[in-house]
Amino acid sequence: MGYYFSVLIKIFISFIQAVGAHLTMSQAGIFFLAIPVSYSFMGYSLAILQKKFLLGFGLAFCGSLLSYLYVRVSHESFTVLTAASIVGFEAFLKSFSDLTGGVLGISGIMRPGFMKALPDIVLVSGCLMLTLVLIENLIFKAPFGRALRGLKESETLLESMSISANKIGTVVICLASLLSGIAGSLEALRIQFLDPTFGGFPNLILIASIAILSMKPSVRTLVLSTLFVVLLPEVLRFFSFNPSQMGHMRMLVYSIMLVILIRNLSGKFTSAQRIV
């Protein structure tokens, strides 16, 4: 039963994190690749302040909003810098071993009273996912959702309509960081162990795959993409791979899937193909 609960939590957590990637990458066209940094940052904040759950959560919450600083970076270096910050944060975690446990990480993370067992985490993350389904649905119907999609097509045109492209970008980046941070904290509470590889590029590949697969401004597509991407490597369990190889196999599957997606989907969602 624990396996099924874990898979369910993985789906819910991935969805929570993917909402941010869906809004930034797929809808606004902002290649904000630092999503795993806030995932890891919030997970570690909770782990370090594990006896003061609310303080840890509050600190991490504020920390996620620091992603605002990324907006100050020039357009040309934005994607590279956000990707580089994943490596930078991992190096920080390894270096400050007094605080973060270094390469050994932090084990035995305590869960708060209302999330003692896995079914509790299923419930909390499931409720969060449902709330986000409603919120994202609302965003797509609201001016903010249209502005996001407008930003992807033309920043100039958006500005000429008295909408600040910078403000829209800032809000969506902070939102993505925050959601990623929440997902990170839930995952940290689920596995109760963190090391510097928590988050990182494997997490980025997972979330970017979901975001690329769900290019349409539709929550249903995002849910289906999350289910597909999260459940895809579970098929590997039916083969008798060495457990130590499973992680690498999973990344291989995602990488192949990304290559196929990029090859086949590029140009499929342009207006010329979407005649109504």
Please report how close the Cβ of residue 4 comes to other proteins at its closest, in angstroms. Answer: 37
Chain centroid offset of residue 250 CA:
17
Q: Which lies closer to other proteins via its Cβ, residue 150 or residue 184?
A: 150
Site map for other proteins, 128-157, x if CB under 8 A? -------------xxxx-xx-xx-xxx-xx
Could you give the C-alpha distances from 12 to 9, 180, 226, in angstroms and in order?
5, 12, 9
Binders of other proteins among residues 178 to 197 (CB under 8 A) are none
Which of these segments, 66-74, 194-202, 228-236, 268-276, binds other proteins (CB under 8 A)? 268-276
Instruction: Give 212: exposed, middle or buried? Use CB within 10 Å, 0-12, 13-18, 19+.
Output: buried
160 makes contact with other proteins (CB under 8 A): yes
Please report how close the Cβ of residue 166 comes to other proteins at its closest, in angstroms. Answer: 8
Nearby residues of 64 by Cβ (< 8 Å), 6 or more positions away: 38, 41, 42, 174, 177, 178, 180, 181
Please report how close the Cβ of residue 106 comes to other proteins at its closest, in angstroms. Answer: 40
Q: Which of 6, 73, 159, 261 binds other proteins (CB under 8 A)?
A: 159
275 makes contact with other proteins (CB under 8 A): yes
Q: Which lies closer to other proteins via its Cβ, residue 240 or residue 271?
A: 271
74 makes contact with other proteins (CB under 8 A): no
Contact status, residue 209 vs residue 255, Cβ threshold 8 Å: no
Please report how close the Cβ of residue 272 comes to other proteins at its closest, in angstroms. Answer: 7
Using CB under 8 A as the binding criterion, the count of chain residues that bind other proteins stands at: 27
Please report how close the Cβ of residue 240 comes to other proteins at its closest, in angstroms. Answer: 47
163 makes contact with other proteins (CB under 8 A): yes
Binders of other proteins among residues 197 to 256 (CB under 8 A) are none
Nearby residues of 146 by Cβ (< 8 Å), 6 or more positions away: none
Could you give the C-alpha distances from 222 to 5, 27, 115, in angstroms and in order?
21, 12, 27
20 makes contact with other proteins (CB under 8 A): no
Give me the helices (H) in the chain, please: 2-21, 35-48, 53-64, 75-95, 97-100, 118-141, 143-153, 155-160, 165-191, 200-213, 219-231, 243-265
Which residues here bind other proteins, judged by CB under 8 A?
Answer: 141-144, 146-147, 149-150, 152-154, 156-165, 270-272, 274-276
